C-alpha cells in the first residue's frame, strides 16, 4: 500500500518547514488539541515517515493545514516534528502560513490577517505581502509564562547548573550564563547536543509542569541555552529539540518563553522589541503585546515576527513495503 504526500518544502530563518498540502489523514476531535491526540494514536507513522531519515533528518519539522473547528477561524494547524506533534511551533507557523498563503491553500477572510487554531489554543496572524509573496509574518502567540525558577541540577562532566522553566507553547528549560556555562560558542554545538538531553532528563525528574488549561500539554521538552546579553534588547539562543536538533531559527515558542522569562525578571517591558538571534544568527523580533494571566498565573502575550522562504515542491511516497516506511533515527 502506497501513500502519497504533496509537500511544499522551505525554511523559516534556516529551520526546515515541510507543509504537507496533500495526503493529510481525516482526524477526529472537536479542537486541534483533540485532533493532535487522535493523530498521535492512529497516524504517527506519517510523522515519523516524513520527518525521520531517509525522507527527513534530525531537524525536520512541518505540519498539515486542517479545516477549522470554529466558525470564526480560518484554518487549523497540526505540527509534525522529529520529537512528536508539538502543541505550538513558531517557526513552523511562520513557514506554514507563508507557503499556505502563497499557494492558495489558506483563504483569509480579511487580507493581511488570520485567526488559526493550533493544539495550544487560538493564535492570530498579521502578514505583509507584495503581490502573492509573503514578506513577513507576525504571530500573536498564546500566553507565555514562567513556570518556576532556580532548579539546581548536576550534569555529569559539566557540573551544577541553575535552570528556570518557562512556557511559550512548549515548556523550556532555560539556562543563562553562570559558573559552569559561559556562552553558546564556548560550549559549542557538539557539547550542546551532548548535554541538552541530559539536562532535559534531569529537569523531567525535578519538575513535571502541566499547562493550566490543557493537561495534554505537559513536561519539559526543549532546552534553551541563552548567550550573555550585551544589549538588553538583543539576545541569542541555542534551542535543543528532539534527540539531536539545534533549532536553526531563533525558535518562536522558545523566544516567547524567553521574553516571558525576561519580563518575569523585570528585564523587558510591554511594548519593547527584543531581537532574538539563533545559533546561525538568523533573527526574529519579539514584543510583549500585553500582560495577562492564566488562572491567576501572571503571563504575557508575545508577538513573534519572522519570515520564511519556500525551496520547492516535494512529492513523497511512503510505501508500506519499504522496510523504512516509518523512518529511522540513529
Ligand atoms: O519555532 O517554536 C518553534 C520551534 C519549536 C521547535 C523547533 N522550533
Atom of ligand 1 nearest to the CA of 169: 2
Those residues with Cβ within 8 angstroms of residue 120's Cβ, 6 or more apart along the chain or in another chain: 33, 87, 88, 142, 169, 211, 214, 217
Q: Please indicate whether residue 241, judged by its CB atom, sits closer than 6 Å to ligand 1.
A: yes
In a mutational test of the pocket of ligand 1, which residue from 84, 91, 283, 285 has the highest number of ligand atoms less than 8 Å from its CB? 91
Q: Please indicate whether residue 252, judged by its CB atom, sits closer than 6 Å to ligand 1.
A: yes
Atom of ligand 1 nearest to the CA of 251: 1
Report the nearest-CA residue for atom 8 of ligand 1: 251
In a mutational test of the pocket of ligand 1, which residue from 47, 87, 89, 119 has the highest number of ligand atoms less than 8 Å from its CB? 89
Q: What is the pTM of this model?
A: 0.98
ipTM of the complex: 0.99
Atom of ligand 1 nearest to the CA of 245: 7
Report the nearest-CA residue for atom 5 of ligand 1: 89
- CB contact at 8 A, 95 and 107: no
Q: Please indicate whether residue 90, judged by its CB atom, sits closer than 6 Å to ligand 1.
A: yes
Q: How far apart are CA 313 and CA 105, in angstroms?
A: 14
Mean pLDDT by 10 residues, the chain (330 residues): 97 98 96 98 98 98 97 97 97 98 96 98 98 97 98 98 98 98 98 98 98 97 97 98 98 98 98 98 98 97 98 97 97
Give the active site residues: 89, 251
Dihedral Cα 123, 109, 129, 99, nearest 10 deg: 70
pLDDT at 213 (0 to 100): 97
Amino acid at each position: 500500500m502506497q501513500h502519497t504526500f504533496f509537500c511544499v518544502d522551505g525554511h523559516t530563518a534556516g529551520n526546515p518547514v515541510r507543509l504537507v498540502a496533500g495526503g493529510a489523514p481525516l482526524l477526529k476531535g472537536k479542537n486541534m488539541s483533540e485532533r493532535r491526540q487522535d493523530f498521535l494514536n492512529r497516524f504517527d507513522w506519517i510523522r515519523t515517515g516524513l520527518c525521520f531519515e531517509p525522507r527527513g533528518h534530525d531537524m525536520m519539522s512541518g505540519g498539515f493545514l486542517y479545516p477549522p473547528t470554529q466558525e470564526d477561524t480560518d484554518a487549523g494547524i497540526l505540527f509534525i516534528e522529529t520529537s512528536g506533534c508539538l502543541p505550538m511551533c513558531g517557526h513552523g507557523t511562520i513557514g506554514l502560513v507563508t507557503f499556505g498563503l502563497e499557494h492558495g491553500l489558506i483563504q483569509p477572510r480579511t487580507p493581511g490577517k488570520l485567526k488559526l487554531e493550533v493544539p495550544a489554543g487560538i493564535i492570530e496572524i498579521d502578514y505583509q505581502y507584495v503581490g502573492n509573496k509573503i514578506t513577513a509574518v507576525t504571530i500573536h502567540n498564546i500566553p507565555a509564562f514562567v513556570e518556576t525558577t532556580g532548579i539546581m541540577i548536576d550534569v555529569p562532566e559539566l557540573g551544577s547548573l541553575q535552570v528556570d522553566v518557562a512556557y511559550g507553547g512548549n515548556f523550556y528549560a532555560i539556562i543563562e550564563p553562570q559558573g559552569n556555562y559561559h556562552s553558546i560558542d564556548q560550549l559549542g554545538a557538539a557539547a550542546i547536543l551532548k548535554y541538552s538531553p541530559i539536562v532535559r532528563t534531569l529537569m523531567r525528574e525535578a519538575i513535571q509542569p502541566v499547562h493550566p488549561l490543557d493537561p495534554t500539554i505537559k513536561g519539559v521538552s526543549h532546552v534553551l541555552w541563552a548567550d550573555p546579553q550585551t544589549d538588553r534588547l538583543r539576545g541569542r539562543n541555542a534551542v535543543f529539540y528532539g534527540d539531536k536538533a539545534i533549532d536553526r531559527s531563533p525558535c518562536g515558542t522558545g523566544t516567547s518563553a524567553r521574553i516571558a522569562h525576561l519580563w518575569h525578571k523585570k528585564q523587558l517591558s510591554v511594548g519593547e522589541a527584543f531581537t532574538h538571534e539563533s545559533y546561525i544568527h538568523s533573527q526574529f523580533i519579539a514584543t510583549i503585546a500585553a500582560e495577562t494571566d492564566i488562572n491567576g498565573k501572571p503571563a504575557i502575550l508575545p508577538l513573534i515576527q519572522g519570515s520564511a522562504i519556500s525551496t520547492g515542491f516535494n512529492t513523497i511516497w511512503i510505501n508500506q513495503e519499504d522496510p523504512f516506511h516509518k523512518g529511522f533515527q540513529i
